[in-house]
Chains A and B, each alone.
Chain A
Amino acid sequence: MSQPDPLADFFAADAAPAVDRGFRMAVMEQVARRRLRVELALRSLATLLLFVGVALISPVLQRFAQLLGQDLSQVLLVMLAAGLVAYLGHFWLTRKPVLRLPHLRFF
């Protein structure tokens, strides 16, 4: 029969608790913080890219608007207003935005 390891008692006495809720909460809090930072950074980058994109194509957009003429511009304005009202109405009824930014989860 093999002898028990004399060091086993020492190692057993030294073990950390198997599960410590406080430790888990601290880790998950840090995870949430890091996720928030990453998502903020990515969304800021996406917004910046959007602005740059719009700035780059703005001459084309302006020319397009001029080509449409005033009548069509008014129609577009009405459609835009109707869309906005529909969106707000849907939000009012469901309390959920129809348009939602994609949930960026890279980690």
Chain B
Amino acid sequence: MSTPPTDAALVAAARSGSDAAFARIVDRYQGPIRTFLRRLGPYTSDADDLAQETFLTGWTELRGLREPARLKSWLFSIAWRKAKGEARTMARNRQRDHDWQEIRPDCETPETERAIALHQALAQLPPDQRAAVSLCLGDGWTHADAAGVLDMPLGTVKSHVLRGRTRLVEILGVDS
């Protein structure tokens, strides 16, 4: 079985014009990036639009990527910048957020119940804390890597994760 190409190899191929290579980059990171952005905002469709913009910006700025092996962190940094850019809109839509928290689908499985509960709990955290929690607790990033992506001091990220985790446990009513 052939080993999958490394990020650096895919970046090199995409830089030389291979759409197939860029499509593989999209496939490789669409899941984590969409999940990250969905956890930052209330609307899945908005988050997916933002994720598409993230990849489009990634494609445009691919030549500026200094360390191709750090492709994942770089894409997440773009996603975070875009999410912060949307912050004003999100603030304007705070009422919409509130309405959204009231929405409950007709047909719920334990999975969707848990997902909705998590979204509602995350919505109560400040955006920076939400992002740090999403990366470190949701996606298994180290504090140092998350600090790099979010452009925050390491201590701030650690504090965000600790406080965010405590708050989530409290809101969700699970035993820590």
Contact = CB atoms under 8 A, between A and B. Distances in A.
Interface string B132-176: 000001100000000000000000000000000100110010111
Interface residues of B, number: 39
A42 to B, nearest CB: 14
Contacts of B35: 14-16
B76 interface: no
A56 interface: no
Interface residues of A, number: 25
- Chain B binding surface, main DSSP class: helix
Contact of A28 (B23, B60, B119): B23
A66 to B, nearest CB: 46
Interface stretch (A18-26, A78-86, A91-99): A18-26
Nearest to B56: A30
B138 A14 contact: yes
A15 B56 CA distance: 22
B115 A14 contact: yes
Interface stretch (A2-10, A47-55, A57-65, A67-75): A2-10
Contacts of A24: 23, 26-27, 30
Given A27-B52, A34-B60, A13 B115 contact: yes
Interface of B: 17, 19, 22-23, 26-27, 30-31, 34-35, 38-39, 48, 51-52, 55-56, 59-60, 62-63, 110-112, 114-115, 117-119, 121, 137-138, 165, 168-169, 172, 174-176
Given A7-B168, A13-B112, A23-B52, 4 more contacts: A7-B174, A9-B114, A10-B114, A34-B59
